[in-house]
Amino acid sequence: MARKWMMLGLGLVLALGMVGCASVDTGTKFNDMNLTTSGQKPVAHLNGSCWGIYLFPVIPLLTGDTASVGSIAVGQDTATVEPVVEMTTRKAKQLGATSVVDLQSHKTSLYIPPVFWYKSCEVSGNAVK
């Protein structure tokens, strides 16, 4: 019985070390193509994502830290649209964009028995100036 609990604990520690990620990926090669019909100059295509593990579907345990990309947030509900949009538009501003067009989001939620949920949110858009 002790071995079973030890293995469960080890598995939990390994899982905790790999959870919660926030990132913004960019694409900047457009082959002289425009991203808008208004003639705005393309800066980058952005794809922001954040995911984490929740207790039941509403209590965040470990998620990606959208304020400090690459870090883990404890007890913060960051795998939702608002913080991921903020993270993505912050990156667009850092790249010199004045607008983000065609902004879209996608959310996923998966049950992990017995009481956990994996949640993720992705936001993509085109940064232009």
Residue pLDDT, tens place only, 3-46: 776 566 556 555 555 557 999 999 999 999 988 888 899 999 99
Provide the CATH number for the domain around residue 108.
Answer: 3.30.110
Q: Dump pLDDT digits (tens) for 66-102.
A: 999 989 999 999 999 999 999 999 999 999 999 999 9
**To 5 degrees, how large is the angle CA 31–CA 32–CA 36?**
110
Q: Specify whether the CB–CB gap between 110 and 117 falls below 8 A.
A: yes
Instruction: Give domain status of residue 120, yes or no.
Output: yes
> Number of structural domains, the chain?
1
Instruction: Give domain status of residue 67, yes or no.
Output: yes
Instruction: Give domain status of residue 11, yes or no.
Output: no
Domain, as residue range, for 93: 19-128
Extract the tokens encoding 5: 């609990």
Taking the C-alpha atoms of residue 127 and residue 55, their distance in angstroms, rounded to an integer, is 35
Instruction: Give domain status of residue 8, yes or no.
Output: no
Taking the C-alpha atoms of residue 64 and residue 73, their distance in angstroms, rounded to an integer, is 6
